[in-house]
Structure 1
Amino acid sequence: MTTQSGAVGDKAAHSETLQFIGGLLLIMALGLNLRPLLASASPLMEDIRMATGLGYGVLAWLTTLPFLCMGAVALASGRLQRLLGESRGIMLSLAAIGAACALRQVSGTGMTLLSTALLGGAGIALIQALVPGLVKRRFGARMPLVMGLYSASLMSGGGLSAWISPRLAELGGWQLGVGIWWVPAVITLVGWFLIFRRRAAPPASVAAIEGVRPWRLKRAWLLALYFGVINAGYSSVVTWLPVYYQELGWSAVAGGQLLAWMTIFQVLAALTMPALAQRQKNADRRWLLAASLTAQLVGYLGFIFMPQSLALLWNAIGGFGLGASFSLGLILALDHLPDARAAGRLAAFMQGFGFMLNAMSPWISGTLREMTGSFISAWALLAVGIAAMLVVTLRFNPKRYARVMQGQAGY
């Protein structure tokens, strides 16, 4: 009897391990699909401009529209989740991303590019809004580690697509470079359908979901502002860093390689910092956040004062700070509430307004460049924002989370 019970226990443990690995791989696959729509077009902008006749101002919307979608859809994610369900919402989102990329491959008009930016952006946005709550519910105490792997895969997807797309364009034109990314979206969709189609999320209590109305809580607004500012540098750096170094005399290829170098350290940070958070005995993330923001600040100051002599160093440090800030910002929101659905709703609210700030960041940086004749003013503004958020970080004491989420302790 004991031997039989042990065998049953081993089988159950083995099954649980396989489910964990399968779920983790799917979460990482989701992350890999969330940036190619944006990043694949960046190194091919000149080819796209020549083929479509679109100006630089219009082409900027290929990045801005998805970020605006991320904000708007995240704010409506609660209703969308109730309407579609968690699993169905993710599958429809993957279908939207795949369709957007496929349309770009078969039709290279300016209208197609802009409309697919909206379609794919909506899919990206809904997945990003649903994943935090899904991870907290499915992975429990392993949440920080899994969120780190998800963030790393998200950034890796952007870096890989920016590196691969120009090479594919050399073989089959720019439409192949920006459109081929429907393939991983379809593969992930099939995997999600096969594994999760029968696993509906357990119903959350009405009190858990309806009792948390983020827009009524000062802390939720503070988290939204915090997330937006500490991640605003990502969209500006991706858009303008190669241009900045080209103005300093670097070639376009060298500027792109510098961005790829930065991506390596973003991924490294997204893996290591949440792993450190996983090892913490409490949910106090303040020293990890402070270290991440300090790294960003050092990077921006390096861009301002010594951009040429130690370019690799500043980009490595700044990239590490940017990569860590995204994953830790999501973990910070999820820490505030014990219920997975309610925490996911808070994270979606935070991302909603945060991504809208991110969408404005490249435009503000570009405007400052036109007004001052240099990107130094843009780096300075980002540095000031990070310095302010270092002070705000002190407010995130986990011992106060229960009170502030009940509206009893201000911010």
Structure 2
Amino acid sequence: MPLAESRLRRLGGWALLIALGLNLRPIISSISPLLMEIRGATGMSFQSSAWLTSLPVVCMGLVALLGVRLEARLGERRGVALGLLMILCACLARLLCDQASALLATALLGGAGVALIQALVPALIKRQFQQRVALAMGIYSASLMGGGGLAALLSPHVATHFAHWQAGLGVWLLPALAALLLWWLLPFAGPGQRLNAPSISLWRNRRAWLLALYFGLINCGYMSMVAWLPAYYLQLGWSATQSGSLLAFMTIFQVIAALLMPALAQRQSDRRPLLAISLSAQALGFSGLVLWPLQAPQLWVALIGFGLGACFALSLILTLDHRRDPREAGQLAAFVQGVGFLINAVSPWMTGWLRELTGSFISAWWVLILTVLAMLVLTRVFSPSSYRESQSTTLAPQPIPTGSTSTSA
């Protein structure tokens, strides 16, 4: 292959990775800054409107658990294309519909599309960027979070410009359309590629369940922030634009962490020190929201964003570390994300329920603080020597501990 063509393919691969990531969160994060307008137009309560955030995450979990079968049936190229098409259709429906039931249906449709893409991307990364898995995962995570922040920031402005909240939700069909066109022009996988290698069994695998629990709980704060951080500051007297910009500010630090921490992880095989730093940042940030929400909101949100951005990328890298083969690594990542996102789905619903029960978001922030501290303690079990199969950033295997069994991941 000529050098120029090879470079073009590499650049195309990175561009696709970014384009895919940018489309995976607007379906969720565009809701929160416009929540008051949506509730006023549809009559939804705090608890019922939380389903607009929770339902996509439920879909992410359920579809990810079916990821292996979907991958075998559709292939990567068709699977990712279908996911982007579902996101596009969900955004189009939001542009045209203004009833609560229709919005909930778009949450299901868009969430299924996001889930389908998320289930396929880790294996793509493991295969396509073999020597730069941590860096590629960081760029993918940063793009994913950047898309969420852009939606939180721009959706209120678009809604104001067109004098209707539906425009702020529907505008995100444009990046989905752009990504779909780019995917068909420069696909990662070959035309019609289907991977029919045998799948690995994870349902009775204790390490797989532990990774899934860990992934779900260290990342559940993101869904609560996306769903309720603007509403929290609206309750404290901020405007919709101000509160949406605060969520976008959080995203800046998510992106920084998603790029910085995997780059640091590229230099070492033990993920625990970086995970401990990231979880500590989350705990400090949530504590600030409870104790001094108006004194230094940007600081607390920056800490939360940094911790969440790092935890998402590092927890996926930790998962991929457990399997050398890209196919098996993708299956493990799909399982971990599937169970983890089902756990994530409870977080915004729980926050909305506690808000209605107590009249304040403070109790929900305390629950997140305790959860993060518990996961900080759990982090110590993920030593590289505990992996049955491990892939460091240089593709060198880690030692297998004596007495390990076939049930280890």
Q: TM-score, normalised by structure 1?
A: 0.90
Q: Which runs of 5+ in 2 are unaligned?
A: 389-399
Q: 1:398 deviation in Å?
A: 1.7
State the partner residue of 2:183: 192
Query: Structure 2: how far apart are the matches of 1:100 and 1:330?
Result: 27
More off after superposition, 316-325 vs 399-408: 399-408
State the partner residue of 2:214: 226
More helix by share: 1
- After superposition, the C-alpha distances for 1:192-239 in whole angstroms (9 at most, x for unaligned) are 111228715977674xx43x2111210000001000110011111222
Match for 1:331 among 298, 317, 333?
Answer: 317
Partner-residue secondary structure (3-state), 2:56: helix
Match for 2:120 among 121, 126, 130?
Answer: 130
Q: 1:399 deviation in Å?
A: 2.3
Match for 1:29 among 19, 30, 41?
Answer: 19
State the partner residue of 1:255: 243
State the partner residue of 1:101: 91
Q: 1:308 deviation in Å?
A: 2.6
Letter aligned with residue 244 of structure 1: Y
In 2 relative to 1, CA 305–106 (structure 1 residues): closer, same or farther, beyond 3 Å?
A: closer
State the partner residue of 2:298: 312
- After superposition, the C-alpha distances for 1:249-306 in whole angstroms (9 at most, x for unaligned) are 44444333322221111111111111111233xx211111111111111112222233
Q: 1:408 deviation in Å?
A: 4.9
More off after superposition, 35-44 vs 123-132: 35-44
Letter aligned with residue 110 of structure 2: G
Query: Structure 1: how far apart are the matches of 2:150 and 2:381?
Result: 37
More off after superposition, 104-113 vs 124-133: 104-113
Letter aligned with residue 318 of structure 2: L
CA contact (8 A) 1:218 1:407 kept: no
State the partner residue of 1:153: 143
State the partner residue of 1:295: 281
Partner-residue secondary structure (3-state), 1:141: coil
2:157 is the alignment partner of 1:167: yes
State the partner residue of 2:32: 42
State the partner residue of 1:322: 308
Query: Structure 2: how far apart are the matches of 1:99 and 1:248?
Result: 35
Q: Which protein has the larger Cα radius of gyration, Structure 1 or Structure 2?
A: 1
CA contact (8 A) 2:128 2:188 kept: no
In 2 relative to 1, CA 311–18 (structure 1 residues): closer, same or farther, beyond 3 Å?
A: same
Query: Structure 2: how far apart are the matches of 1:56 and 1:308?
Result: 23
Letter aligned with residue 294 of structure 1: S
Match for 1:242 among 217, 230, 252?
Answer: 230
More off after superposition, 32-41 vs 105-114: 105-114
CA contact (8 A) 2:33 2:231 kept: no
2:81 is the alignment partner of 1:91: yes
Query: Structure 2: how far apart are the matches of 1:197 and 1:397?
Result: 32
CA contact (8 A) 2:21 2:141 kept: yes
Partner-residue secondary structure (3-state), 1:34: coil
CA contact (8 A) 1:137 1:340 kept: yes
Q: 1:246 deviation in Å?
A: 3.8
Q: How many residues align?
A: 396
Q: Which runs of 5+ in 1 are unaligned?
A: 1-10
Query: Structure 2: how far apart are the matches of 1:388 and 1:344?
Result: 27
In the TM superposition, 1:106-117 aligns within 5 A as 106-117=96-107
State the partner residue of 2:397: none
Partner-residue secondary structure (3-state), 2:186: helix
